[in-house]
């Protein structure tokens, strides 16, 4: 009966290590150890033939029976069931053989060979069961590992997903921030552009200042001079009246009248200059009104010329005008067209004032007379204003860019690069056209054509 108890011993030990929660008894582990001790004791008894064989076998049967019953009925011991399935036939046959041998020795000896055969097959069964169960366990183990792996992957995936979500949120926040920054930059740019346009206006006004001062000083001098003259004439008139010299009186009165007219005309001239300066610097664009283009062109030509003269003493150039006396009045915003004219004329003077034009002319062996010419001409349905210089001309590669904003050939700080761009827009805004013709070494001609009704 040693082998059965050994089986019981290992089975108990197996259960001790593999029972599931919850514990079926308050002290399952201790109970099983006691069971193991009992099995070991019974095994020793059986092996040594000490003590009554029947009692030992009976106790062994009870132990094995209780054990198998427990395994089959208690859910916590369910892991022992495959082992029970494996050993049950063998254990049943050996106990049957044992008790047959003890209780019915004569009958048993007759069927001993049968029992031995049965034991043999039961043993093979047990081994086969053990082997199958081991395979199943291994397969289960593999599945479990796969499941664990999947679980780990799932956890990892979740983690990555969470990470990605955070990154997406961060990126979205970044993009939103960038978008806001860009929008702000755009707003700033627009504001800057407006400021630049205003700055250009003011810069051209600044260029005008000296010219304006000169242009106002001259009529003002005349006003003062003719006033003084009239004062003197009045004294003379008094003397003549005392003498009763009628001819002299008449002559003096005529002079007084003429001088008075001059005072008025020069006063108006100064007023006109101040007015156009104020118009030029005005922020909002003005209204279209009938404008004498010849007068406007002449005014800005003089302002530009005297402005440059006052700024640079060494500057000199000739200007010529060829105005069409039959020019109709045009419906234009006069200060805007004035700005265009001022820009083109300033550029023209700038072109003829440089060294290049002079050198080019001298290399051809001629004397260079820097000249800016402004002409007007009435054409069918339109009026053409030309600003012509005999400067160095504009190279082809620059011609395309010349009307682009911020394009300038002047040294940094001297030109905003907005003059021609704004001029182009202003002329377009009047339904007109601004174009240029230029020959290298000969000069440039800007043509403003404006529609006339």
SS (H, E, C) 340-386: HHHHHHHHHHHHHHCHHHHHHHHHCCCCCCCEEEEEEEEECCEEEEE
Nearest residue to 353 via CA among 328, 390, 379: 390
Nearer to other proteins, 90 or 300 (CB): 300
Fill in the per-residue mask, 251 to 270: x = in contact with other proteins (CB under 8 A), - = not in contact. ----x--xx--x---x----
The answer to whether 214 contacts other proteins (rule: CB under 8 A) is yes
Nearer to other proteins, 96 or 210 (CB): 210
The span from the CA of 217 to the CA of 253, in Å, is: 27
The span from the CA of 252 to the CA of 234, in Å, is: 8
Burial 115-146 (b: 16+ CB within 10 A, else e): beebbeebeebbeebeeeeeeeeeeeeeeeee
- Smallest distance from the beta carbon of 232 to other proteins, in angstroms? 8
Which span (210-218, 276-284, 290-298, 374-382) binds other proteins, by CB under 8 A?
210-218
Residue 376 dihedral angles phi and psi, to the nearest 5° = -130, 150
Among 92, 218, 227, 279, binds other proteins (CB under 8 A): 218
DSSP 452: -
Residues 30, 33, 34: CA angle, nearest 5 degrees: 90
Fill in the per-residue mask, 74 to 113: x = in contact with other proteins (CB under 8 A), - = not in contact. ----------------------------------------
- Smallest distance from the beta carbon of 361 to other proteins, in angstroms? 16
The answer to whether 385 contacts other proteins (rule: CB under 8 A) is no
Nearer to other proteins, 214 or 442 (CB): 214
Q: How many helices (H) and strands (E) does the chain have?
A: 11, 7
Tokens of 3: 């082998």
Nearer to other proteins, 215 or 336 (CB): 215
Residue 95 neighbours by CB under 8 Å, 6+ apart: 4, 57, 60, 61, 64
The answer to whether 205 contacts other proteins (rule: CB under 8 A) is no
- Smallest distance from the beta carbon of 188 to other proteins, in angstroms? 43
Among 77, 222, 349, 350, binds other proteins (CB under 8 A): 222
Q: What are 319's strand-pairing partners?
A: 372
Which span (191-199, 201-209, 228-236, 412-420) binds other proteins, by CB under 8 A?
228-236
- Smallest distance from the beta carbon of 426 to other proteins, in angstroms? 27
Among 229, 249, 323, 324, binds other proteins (CB under 8 A): 229
- Smallest distance from the beta carbon of 389 to other proteins, in angstroms? 14
SS (H, E, C) 241-280: HHHCCHHHHHHHHHHHHHHHHHHHHHHHHHHHHHHHHHHH
Fill in the per-residue mask, 295 to 324: x = in contact with other proteins (CB under 8 A), - = not in contact. ----------xx--xx--x--xxxx-----
Among 9, 90, 108, 226, binds other proteins (CB under 8 A): 226
SS3 state at 406 = coil
Burial 80-98 (b: 16+ CB within 10 A, else e): bebbbbbbbbbbebbbebb
The span from the CA of 70 to the CA of 89, in Å, is: 17
- Smallest distance from the beta carbon of 324 to other proteins, in angstroms? 21
Report the interface residues with other proteins, using CB under 8 A: 214, 217-218, 220-222, 224-226, 228-229, 233, 255, 258-259, 262, 266, 305-306, 309-310, 313, 316-319
């Amino acid at each position: 009966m040693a082998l059965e108890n050994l089986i019981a011993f290992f089975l108990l030990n197996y259960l001790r290590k593999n029972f599931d929660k919850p514990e079926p008894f308050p002290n399952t582990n201790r109970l099983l150890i006691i069971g193991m001790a009992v099995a070991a004791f019974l095994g020793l008894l059986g092996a040594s033939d000490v003590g009554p064989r029947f009692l030992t076998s009976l106790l062994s049967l009870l132990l094995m029976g209780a054990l198998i019953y427990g395994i089959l009925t208690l859910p916590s011991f369910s892991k022992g069931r495959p082992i029970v399935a494996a050993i049950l036939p063998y254990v049943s046959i050996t106990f049957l053989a044992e008790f047959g041998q003890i209780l019915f020795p004569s009958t048993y000896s007759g069927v001993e060979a049968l029992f031995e055969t049965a034991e043999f097959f039961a043993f093979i069964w047990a081994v086969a069961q053990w082997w199958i169960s081991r395979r199943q366990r291994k397969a289960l183990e593999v599945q479990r590992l796969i499941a664990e792996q999947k679980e780990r992957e799932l956890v990892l995936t979740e983690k990555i997903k969470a990470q990605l979500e955070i990154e997406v949120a961060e990126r979205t926040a970044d993009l939103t921030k960038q978008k806001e920054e860009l929008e702000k930059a755009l707003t700033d740019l627009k504001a800057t552009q407006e400021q630049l346009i205003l700055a250009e206006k003011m810069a051209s006004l600044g260029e005008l200042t000296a010219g304006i001062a000169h242009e106002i000083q001259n009529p003002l001098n005349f006003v003062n001079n003719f006033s003084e003259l009239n004062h003197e004439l009045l004294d003379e008139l008094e003397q003549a009246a005392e003498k009763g010299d009628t001819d002299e009186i008449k002559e003096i009165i005529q002079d007084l009248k003429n001088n008075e007219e001059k005072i008025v005309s020069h006063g108006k001239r100064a007023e006109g200059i101040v007015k156009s300066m104020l118009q030029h610097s005005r922020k909002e664009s003005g209204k279209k009104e009938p404008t004498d283009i010849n007068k406007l062109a002449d005014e800005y030509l003089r302002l530009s010329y005297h402005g440059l003269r006052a700024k640079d003493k060494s500057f000199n150039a000739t200007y010529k005008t060829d105005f069409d006396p039959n020019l109709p009045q045009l419906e234009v915003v006069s200060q805007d067209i004035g700005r265009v004219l001022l820009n083109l004329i300033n550029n023209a003077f700038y072109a003829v004032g440089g060294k290049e034009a002079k050198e080019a002319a001298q290399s051809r062996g001629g004397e260079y007379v820097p000249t800016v010419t402004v002409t007007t001409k009435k054409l069918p349905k339109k009026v053409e204003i030309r600003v012509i210089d005999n400067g160095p001309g504009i190279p082809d590669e620059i011609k395309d860019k010349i009307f682009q904003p911020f394009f300038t050939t002047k040294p940094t700080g001297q030109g905003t690069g907005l003059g021609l761009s704004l001029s182009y827009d202003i002329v377009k805004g009047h339904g007109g056209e601004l174009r240029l013709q230029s020959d290298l070494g000969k000069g440039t001609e800007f043509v403003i054509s404006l529609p006339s009704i």
